[in-house]
Every structure is written in C-alpha cells, then in structure tokens.
Amino acid sequence: MKMSAEDALSRAGLHFDDLNKLRVLDPEAAQQTVELKDECREFVAKIADFQKLVGSFIDITDNLSKDVEKEKMKAIGSRNLLKSIAKQREAQQQQLQALIVEKKTQLERLRMQHEALQKQEAEQIDLIDQFSTT
C-alpha cells in the first residue's frame, strides 16, 4: 500500500486548507472552531444587549419606585392633614358649644334680672301712684 503525501501529513497532524495552506488543525475542526467563535461572539453580543435591557428596566423600576414613594408620602401627609383638620373642627365645635352654654346662662341671668327690674318698676309705679292720689 502506497501512502500519499497528504495521508502522511494527516497522520502527522498536518492538513491543507481550502487555500492549500498547511494547517495543524483538521479543516473540519478548524471550521467548527470558526463557527463556535462566531456563535460565541453572537452570544456575547446578545448577553450585552440583554444586560442593557435589564439595566434600563432596573432604572425604570427604580424611578417608578421613587415616584410611588413620593406619592405615598404625599398621601400620608394628606391623611395626617385631614386628621388634623378634623381634630381642629372638633375642638372648635366644643369651644362653640361651651360658648353657647355660657351665652344661654348669661341670657337666663339677664332675663331674671330683667324680670326683677320689671317687678321693681311696677312696685315703684304703684308707690308713685299711691303718693300721687293721696
């Protein structure tokens, strides 16, 4: 059996490529290596795109959470303000009711004083009438 030069080189681990250049790798293995390299490059590019997408998503959610927190604080502030206003109104209502009681008491006192003065006036008129008729 006669071996060709190409077979002898193949056994030694040397191969010719499509351009007839001498290579250490088998042309099929070299082709697979190139394909794997291209696939890896595509994979890395897709990972980079994915990282950008995730980064922008995280930024959006961070901004949204900050906005939500601001609105939450505004709502808490508004609720506290409403409670404060309600307490102020309740205190004002109690003050007004106390003032009403005070004014009613004063009215009753003045009414009684008025009745007493009317009675005294009537007595004085009777007394004047008695002196004038005598």
Q: What is the C-alpha separation between 98 and 122, in angstroms, rounded?
A: 36
User: How high is the mean pLDDT in each 10-residue block of the chain (134 residues)?
Assistant: 59 64 68 90 97 97 97 97 96 97 98 97 93 79
Give the DSSP per-residue string, 43-90: HHHHHHHHHHHHHHHHHHHHHHHHHHHHHHHHHHHHHHHHHHHHHHHH
pLDDT of residue 31: 78
Domains in the chain: boundaries: 5-133
pTM of the model: 0.49
Beta bridge mates, 16 = 22
